[in-house]
Structure formats: structure tokens, C-alpha cells
């Protein structure tokens, strides 16, 4: 992708893609899934050096990354004021002067992600922008509240205006190999979402092995997940390149088998612009340019935007600005 192509693609509206309707649980397919850890780690180790981009090309890729960010605040001390400031940043993620210098207009983040209580505030703050509000749900982050309450929480969030729901799966279903239970749970969550798109958070740092990650990814897609997502951001280990490669290849296999594209969202621990570039290169290599649009790829991050803005300012002015000049609020 050259710099002009990347700049144009950062401004494209969300494309119309048929939703993944899911399929019957295929336990033979699930059982056949394996993961060669050493080969996966070798592949990932080659990425940072092999896909280096510089100057105008790097700036174009970073602008693309901004359009893919789910700008997120998930703290116990969230307030309406903080969420409104976050939404203002989503509407104008980079200073207008900097965007003019980069010959870029209309750039926004992919979504704003909040807890249920903050949905009405975010919806009002983003009215007329086309930026969707995503809500974490189903007893986030542990996912251990009573099942009927997790389903009800999804329904309440959709009712309040959330267009995307990030659900957490029950990890013990994966650890015990109870794929039917995971499938039934995910299918119920998808049904409760209605027209809202559902992102299935696997909490990969708690699943024990890359093989479990691969199998859980496949089962969630079979049950109708629109996205599969690495982490809540609250685990001790969040998004990593090996986990991402496993999940991305599961997405590719599912697409080859069904013809339906499922999105991918790495979340937690991605805070540097250089890391975002590596993830974009991985997506392009493994899935192609179609998966570099907001309807199929998101970063779950907030601090990432700060570093990207600093790198873009350095590209334009030749000097790094102080981090506090690019705060979320």
C-alpha cells in the first residue's frame, strides 16, 4: 500500500459486508484444529523488521491506524465529562492544523467503547457523526455473573443505543473443552444483540494454550460472532503477535469454509505507533487489504492515539512534542 492509497482508505466509509450468520457446531472441525507454537513464534519474530515503513508511507499507515481505533475508557471512576471529552477526541483525533499539513480531512476513530452506564452520554456526544458506540457487556471483565443477567445486560445496552457489544466468554468452557456450552453461550449473546454487532472477547491470556485460542475462535465464529477480540485489557497478558496470528488464521479458515468475513480486534498492551504498524502489516499479509477497514479490524486502545499523534507531528515538524499536548481530555 503506498501513502496515497493509505490516506484515501483512512477516509473511506464503513463498507457494507454481510453479517456472519454462523453455522451448526462442527466438532470434527474443532477437534482437527492444532497450533504449532514454535512455528507461530518464528513467523511473528520476522514481522517487525521485515515490514518497516518510513516517512510519507509511515504517516499514511498511521492515519489508517487512527481510523481503526476503538477509543476506550473502562475505569471505575469514569464520569460523563470524561466520556464527552473522549468523544470529542474521537470526532477530532488529530489537530486540524496537523491534518491540513497531511492533506487529510474527515478523519475519526472507529468507535468509542464504554461501560453500560455511559452509553447515553456517548450516544448524545457522537450524534450525527456516524461513529458507533460500543459497550462492554456480560459481566465484563470476568464474565461470571448469572447467565440471565449477562443476556439482559446486552439487551439493555442495545436499547440505550449501543451499536456494538463487546462480550466476554466463559473461560472455563474453553479450559474444559466444553465446546457445546461455549457455542450455546455465544449464540445466545448474538441473538440478544439483535442488529448490534457482537465482538467476542476470548481473554486469550487465560486460555492456557494457542490451540485453545484457535478452537475458541472457531467456535465463536460458528455461533455468529461478528468480531473475535483478544482481551479485555484487564488480564496480565493481553494482545500478542502469536495469539493474533492464530486468531487471524482461524478467521481466514472460516472465510474459506463459509464465505463470511469476521473481524478482528487486538486489545490491551498496544500503546506505541510502531506496534500498530506491525499489526497492520500482519493483517495485510495474512488477510489482505479488505481487512484493513473499520468494519473488519479495530484496535482496542486509547494511549495508542497519543503516540500516533506525536509521531505524525514529528513527521510534519521534525520535532517531537510533549506527551501532555495530546491528552485524551
- The model's pLDDT over 149-167, given as tens digits with 9 standing for 90+, comes to 999 999 999 999 999 999 9
Q: What mean pLDDT value characterizes the chain?
A: 92
Please pick, among 70, 89, 166, 199, the residue that the annotation labels catalytic. Answer: 166
Phi, psi (deg, nearest 5) at residue 186: -65, -40
3-state SS, 198-222, equals EEEECCHHHCCCHHHHHHHHHHHHH
Select which of 70, 89, 229, 275 is catalytic. 229
Clarify whether 89 is annotated catalytic. no
Out of 70, 199, 265, 295, pick the active-site residue. 265
**pLDDT (tens digit, 9 = 90+) per residue, 254-268?**
999 999 999 999 999
Please state the rounded mean pLDDT for residues 142-150.
Answer: 97
pLDDT tens digits for range 73-96: 999 999 999 999 999 999 999 999
Rounded average pLDDT over 302-315 = 92
The answer to whether 316 touches 96, Cβ cutoff 8 Å, is no
User: Could you give the count of Cα atoms lying within 13 Å of 329 in the half-sphere of its Cβ?
Assistant: 13
Residue 204 in contact with residue 165, Cβ under 8 Å? no
User: Does residue 6 have a pLDDT over 70?
Assistant: no
Is the pLDDT at 4 greater than 60, yes or no? Answer: no
State the cell numbers at 82.
470524561
- Exposure of 265 by Cβ count < 10 A (0-12 exposed, 13-18 middle, 19+ buried)? buried
What is the percentage of the chain residues whose pLDDT exceeds 90? 81
Fold annotation for 3-12+20-326: TIM Barrel (3.20.20)
Look up 166 and say whether it is catalytic. yes
pLDDT confidence band for 105 (50 / 70 / 90):
confident
Q: Which residues pair with 191 in a beta bridge?
A: none
Distance of CA 201 to the CA centre of its chain: 10
For the cut 70, the answer to whether the pLDDT of residue 317 exceeds it is yes
Contact 80, 120 (CB under 8 A): no
What are the boundaries of each domain within the chain? Answer: 3-12+20-326
Mind listing the pLDDT tens digit for each residue in 176-212?
999 999 999 999 999 999 999 999 999 999 999 999 9
The predicted model scores a pTM of 0.92
Min mean pLDDT across 113-127, 177-191, 314-328 is at 314-328
Amino acid at each position: 500500500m503506498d501513502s496515497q492509497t493509505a490516506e484515501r482508505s483512512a477516509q473511506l466509509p464503513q463498507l457494507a459486508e454481510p453479517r456472519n450468520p454462523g453455522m451448526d457446531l462442527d466438532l470434527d472441525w474443532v477437534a482437527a484444529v492444532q497450533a504449532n507454537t514454535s512455528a507461530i513464534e518464528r513467523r511473528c519474530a520476522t514481522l517487525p523488521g521485515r515490514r518497516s515503513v518510513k516517512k510519507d508511507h509511515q504517516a499514511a499507515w498511521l492515519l489508517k491506524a487512527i481510523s481503526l481505533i476503538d477509543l476506550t475508557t473502562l475505569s471505575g471512576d469514569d464520569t460523563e465529562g470524561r466520556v464527552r471529552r473522549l468523544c470529542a477526541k474521537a470526532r477530532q483525533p488529530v489537530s486540524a492544523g496537523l491534518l491540513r499539513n497531511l492533506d487529510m480531512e474527515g478523519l475519526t476513530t472507529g468507535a468509542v467503547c464504554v461501560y453500560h452506564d455511559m452509553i447515553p452520554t456517548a450516544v448524545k456526544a457522537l450524534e450525527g457523526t456516524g461513529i458507533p458506540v460500543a459497550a462492554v457487556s456480560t459481566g465484563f471483565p470476568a464474565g461470571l455473573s448469572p447467565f440471565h443477567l449477562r443476556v439482559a445486560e446486552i439487551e439493555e445496552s442495545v436499547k440505550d443505543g449501543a451499536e456494538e457489544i463487546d462480550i466476554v466468554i466463559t473461560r472455563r468452557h474453553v479450559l474444559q473443552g466444553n465446546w457445546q456450552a461455549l457455542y450455546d453461550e455465544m449464540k445466545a449473546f448474538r441473538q440478544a444483540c439483535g442488529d448490534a454487532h457482537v465482538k467476542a472477547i476470548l481473554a486469550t491470556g487465560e486460555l492456557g494454550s494457542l490451540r485453545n485460542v484457535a478452537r475458541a475462535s472457531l467456535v465463536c465464529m460458528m455461533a455468529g460472532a461478528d468480531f473475535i477480540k483478544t482481551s479485555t485489557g484487564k488480564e496480565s497478558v493481553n494482545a500478542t503477535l502469536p495469539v493474533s496470528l492464530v486468531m487471524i488464521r482461524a478467521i481466514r479458515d472460516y472465510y474459506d469454509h463459509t464465505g463470511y468475513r469476521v473481524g478482528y480486534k487486538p486489545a490491551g498492551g498496544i500503546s506505541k505507533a510502531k506496534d500498530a504498524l506491525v499489526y497492520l502489516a500482519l493483517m495485510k499479509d495474512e488477510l489482505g487489504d479488505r481487512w484493513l477497514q473499520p468494519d473488519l479490524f479495530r484496535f482496542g486502545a486509547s494511549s495508542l492515539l497519543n503516540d500516533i499523534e506525536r509521531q505524525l507531528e514529528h513527521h510534519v515538524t521534525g520535532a517531537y512534542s510533549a506527551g501532555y499536548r495530546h491528552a485524551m481530555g
